[in-house]
């Protein structure tokens, strides 16, 4: 307890006061025994001040009694390190501890954003993972990792004997401060994750903000407390700054470091007083449930659906393409008839599906089609044609703004959870075995069945050699194989494959085609790809989109007959000397033939469709020996030529 005089003059002196004495002060003596007359005060940051004060006091008494002092000169050795720490030094020491504390929320927010960015979170949702279970699992793991870090920090305090944190009456406050900060900052990081779309920028921004705010705001308050006229402003700012967890933990650390000084002037009796850890702990204890409410509200599926439905108009007028293709119109009529009659034979039904973005751009314009069990549906289109947007709506990554879509009879908007259970999805992006086991667990497959399932999928997708390999160490092609295997977990009725063979060599690509064909015997497959030979090899039905419209739909033979204007004949002669005779034969038999390639003894011609495929073949077979043809082939128009023809026609209508 200090006298009123010492308290009133605390901020008067520029230099620290190291000692003081109260002589016969009745206020001070009232709390002590009656025989105490003089009370000494000393600054504990100066180790030798008690002895100096006492020596000075006795020297004054000796002089007053007429006895001359006896002085002995002695050269004291210098201390290796001065230990007189001022309040400013304590403050900066506490601020340095903020640096590792700033890494906690930044690391957590990066992982959450990365899962959304790479599509892992969406794939987990497709497998039926409850959003609350997702956040609870993240929280348990993150807190377990944080507790290890916290205990290491306490161990360091113990090794260096930092009594400010582990001394009697303080170790409890230190532990509670760190635990409450861990809880609050972890959930706060989850809340901040919704502000970012890229994980690296999220990590950098959050770490910078936590470090800068935690340090600068504490500096601001500390500087304001140094002047009498700004001290009340500092007290008011504290109540605002405490809304930021990184500031609160910094304030708590500084309060622990300066607890001795605070107790000396009578402002606190324990670390739990409101002027010590009281207010910081109260603020963080309130922020913890508030942050949880924010996370669960923003991420709740019902909330997202509510705001999305404000722009969703299922009965919006269909957007019809100018000069709509007959096959597209027939497909629309067939789908609408099935809707009226309640026919549910198809597994995917899309009716006038539309997607209009907030900037006014319409990415998908009235797309209508249906897919039946066991079909491989190839969806082609140029970049920006709307095929990826269509797939994203069917997989519920995006909500349509018009029309309807059904998966296994379930409306993807009104019955999204039921529709999700029927879907397997291969996005464009632990070990292979652990990944498959994870999604098997999310799908609800019994644990005892996991080994057999993993074996079957690894064999199907040729991943047996890599089943114990960490995912990050896989090549691009093997990652695509893993994505396909993950899409097939649980035996979904509909599998959406987005560029399944991207990054694969030709041999691996054909093996992947075999795996997809085997999978198609048990489910329907929707395939988007830029490899047109992949559609040629796999697809039963092909649809081509251009600028958001569906421009054609049908089986491959039908589309080739409809849009292919010619047969392609490739012939090789025994010698170049027979070339002139071969050219004369072509001009005589096929006057409208167009030479595509002619070099040395190899020729490629496009022949008009005025003659049948069999007739053309028989003509070449009958004249093979006479024309000295060593080998030849007659083929229909390729899907690539159909695609180019449809796109060209659409561009003319633009």
Q: What is the pLDDT of residue 498?
A: 84
Do the beta carbons of residue 512 and residue 520 sit within 8 Å?
Answer: no
| Helical segments of 242-386, H only | 245-257, 259-264, 279-299, 301-309, 326-341
Q: What is the pLDDT of residue 91?
A: 60
Q: Where are the beta strands (DSSP E) in 137-232?
A: none
CATH code for position 463: 3.40.50.300
Q: What is the pLDDT of residues 47-101, one digit of tens each?
A: 777 777 777 777 777 777 776 656 655 554 444 444 334 455 666 666 677 777 7
CA gap 309, 325 in Å, rounded: 31
602: β partners: 572, 599
CA gap 349, 326 in Å, rounded: 19
What would the two tokens of residue 409 be?
A: 């009879």
Q: What is the pLDDT of residue 43?
A: 75
CATH code for position 625: 3.30.70.260
What would the two tokens of residue 329 be?
A: 């119109």
The reply to whether 337 falls in a domain is: no
Q: What is the pLDDT of residue 81?
A: 42
Query: Does residue 631 share a domain with residue 537?
Result: no
Question: What is the H or E stretch that residue 546 is in?
Answer: strand 541-546
Structural domain ending residue among the three candidates 525, 558, 591 = 558
What would the two tokens of residue 525 be?
A: 């497959």
Q: What is the pLDDT of residues 337-369, one digit of tens each?
A: 988 888 778 899 999 999 988 888 889 998 999
Query: Does residue 234 share a domain with residue 131?
Result: yes
568: β partners: 606, 635
Query: Does residue 282 share a domain with residue 192?
Result: yes
The reply to whether 640 falls in a domain is: no
- Own/partner contacts of 4-9, CB < 8 Å, gap of 24 or more, are 6/41, 7/265, 7/266
Query: Does residue 107 share a domain with residue 10?
Result: no
Query: Does residue 501 share a domain with residue 462?
Result: yes
Q: What is the pLDDT of residue 78?
A: 44
Number of domain units in the chain: 4
Query: Does residue 196 share a domain with residue 155?
Result: yes
The reply to whether 173 falls in a domain is: yes
Query: Does residue 606 share a domain with residue 576?
Result: yes
Do the beta carbons of residue 245 and residue 185 sit within 8 Å?
Answer: yes
Do the beta carbons of residue 245 and residue 284 sit within 8 Å?
Answer: yes
User: What is the CA 492 to chain-centroid distance, rounded?
Assistant: 25
The reply to whether 139 falls in a domain is: yes
Q: What is the pLDDT of residue 654?
A: 60
Low-confidence ranges of the chain (pLDDT < 70): 1-8, 10-15, 24-37, 67-95, 260-268, 426-430, 565, 653-654
CA gap 560, 643 in Å, rounded: 10
Q: Which domain holds residue 512?
A: 423-542+549-558
CA gap 226, 232 in Å, rounded: 11
Q: Strand 566-573's sheet: what is its strand order?
A: 594-599, 602-608, 566-573, 629-635
The reply to whether 366 falls in a domain is: no
CA gap 454, 468 in Å, rounded: 11
C-alpha distances in Å from residue 161, one per residue of 1, 151, 167, 171: 27, 15, 9, 12
Q: Where are the beta strands (DSSP E) in 556-628?
A: 566-573, 594-599, 602-608
What would the two tokens of residue 44 be?
A: 């504990």
Query: Does residue 176 share a domain with residue 286?
Result: yes
CA gap 51, 357 in Å, rounded: 79
**What count of residues does the chain have?**
654
What would the two tokens of residue 196 be?
A: 């970012």
In three-state secondary structure terms, 321 is: coil
Do the beta carbons of residue 194 and residue 105 sit within 8 Å?
Answer: no
Query: Does residue 554 share a domain with residue 573?
Result: no
In three-state secondary structure terms, 169 is: coil
CA gap 20, 39 in Å, rounded: 8
Query: Does residue 45 share a domain with residue 9?
Result: yes
What would the two tokens of residue 148 be?
A: 């290890």
The reply to whether 416 falls in a domain is: no
pTM above 0.95, yes or no: no
Residue 389: CB partners within 8 Å, gap ≥ 6? Answer: 355, 363, 364, 398
Q: What is the pLDDT of residue 357?
A: 87
Structural domain ending residue among the three candidates 263, 282, 299 = 299
20: β partners: 41
Q: What is the pLDDT of residue 481?
A: 86
Query: Does residue 584 share a domain with residue 554?
Result: no
The reply to whether 575 falls in a domain is: yes
Query: Does residue 242 share a domain with residue 151?
Result: yes
Structural domain ending residue among the three candidates 242, 272, 299 = 299
Q: What is the pLDDT of residue 85?
A: 44
The reply to whether 394 falls in a domain is: no
């Amino acid at each position: 307890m200090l006298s009123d005089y010492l308290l009133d003059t605390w901020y008067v002196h520029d230099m620290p006061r190291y000692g003081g004495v109260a002589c016969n002060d009745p206020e001070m003596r009232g709390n002590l025994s009656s025989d105490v007359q003089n009370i000494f005060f000393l600054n504990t940051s100066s180790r030798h001040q008690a002895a100096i004060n006492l020596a000075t006091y006795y020297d004054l008494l000796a002089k007053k009694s007429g006895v001359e002092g006896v002085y002995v000169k002695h050269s004291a050795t210098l201390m290796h390190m001065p230990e007189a720490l001022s309040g400013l030094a304590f403050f900066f020491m506490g601020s340095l501890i903020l640096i590792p504390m700033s890494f906690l929320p930044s690391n957590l927010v990066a992982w959450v954003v990365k899962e959304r960015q790479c599509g892992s979170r969406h794939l987990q949702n497709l497998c039926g993972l409850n959003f609350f279970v997702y956040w609870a699992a993240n929280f348990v793991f993150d807190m377990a990792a944080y507790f290890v870090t916290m205990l290491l920090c306490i161990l360091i305090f113990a090794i260096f004997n930092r009594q400010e944190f582990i001394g009697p009456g303080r170790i409890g406050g230190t532990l509670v401060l760190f635990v409450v900060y861990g809880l609050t900052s972890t959930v706060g990081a989850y809340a901040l994750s919704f502000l970012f779309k890229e994980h690296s920028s999220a990590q950098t921004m959050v770490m910078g903000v936590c470090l800068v705010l935690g340090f600068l705001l504490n500096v601001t308050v500390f500087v304001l407390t140094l002047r009498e006229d700004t001290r009340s402003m500092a007290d008011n700012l504290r109540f605002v700054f405490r809304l930021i967890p990184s500031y609160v933990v910094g304030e708590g650390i500084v309060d622990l470091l300066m607890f001795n000084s605070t107790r000396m002037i009578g402002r606190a009796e324990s670390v739990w007083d409101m002027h010590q850890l009281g207010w910081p702990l109260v603020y963080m204890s309130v922020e913890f449930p508030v942050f949880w409410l924010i996370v669960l509200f923003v991420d709740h599926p019902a909330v997202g659906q509510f705001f999305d439905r404000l722009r969703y108009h299922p009965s919006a007028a269909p957007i019809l393409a100018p000069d709509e293709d007959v096959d597209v119109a027939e497909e629309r009529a067939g789908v609408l008839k099935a809707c009226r009659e309640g026919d549910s034979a198809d597994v995917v039904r899309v009716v006038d599906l539309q997607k209009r973005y907030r900037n006014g751009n319409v990415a998908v314009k009235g797309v209508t089609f249906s897919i039946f069990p066991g079909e491989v549906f190839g969806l082609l289109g140029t970049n920006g044609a709307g095929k990826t947007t269509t797939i994203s709506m069917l997989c519920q990554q995006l909500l349509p703004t018009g029309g309807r879509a059904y998966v296994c009879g379930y409306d993807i908007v009104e019955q999204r959870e039921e529709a999700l259970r029927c879907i397997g999805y291969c996005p464009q992006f632990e070990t292979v075995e652990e990944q498959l086991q994870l999604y098997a667990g999310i799908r609800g497959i019994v644990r005892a069945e996991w080994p057999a399932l993993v074996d079957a999928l690894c064999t199907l997708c040729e991943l047996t050699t890599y089943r114990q390999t960490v995912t990050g160490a896989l090549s691009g092609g093997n990652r695509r194989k893993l994505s396909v295997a993950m899409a097939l977990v649980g035996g979904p009725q509909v599998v959406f494959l987005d560029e399944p063979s991207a990054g694969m060599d030709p041999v691996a690509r054909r093996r992947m085609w075999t795996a997809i064909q085997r999978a198609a015997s048990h489910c329907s497959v929707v395939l988007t790809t830029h490899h047109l030979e992949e559609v040629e090899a796999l697809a039963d039905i092909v649809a081509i989109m251009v600028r958001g419209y569906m421009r054609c739909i049908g089986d491959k033979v039908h589309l080739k007959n409809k849009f292919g204007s010619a047969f392609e004949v490739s012939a090789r002669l025994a010698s170049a000397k027979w070339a002139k005779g071969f050219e004369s034969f072509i001009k005589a038999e096929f006057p409208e033939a167009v030479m595509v390639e002619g070099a040395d003894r190899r020729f490629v011609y496009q022949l008009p469709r005025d003659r049948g495929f069999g007739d053309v073949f028989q003509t070449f077979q009958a004249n093979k020996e006479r024309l000295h043809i060593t080998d030849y082939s007659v083929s229909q128009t390729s899907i690539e030529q159909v695609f180019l023809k449809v796109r060209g026609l659409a561009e003319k209508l633009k």
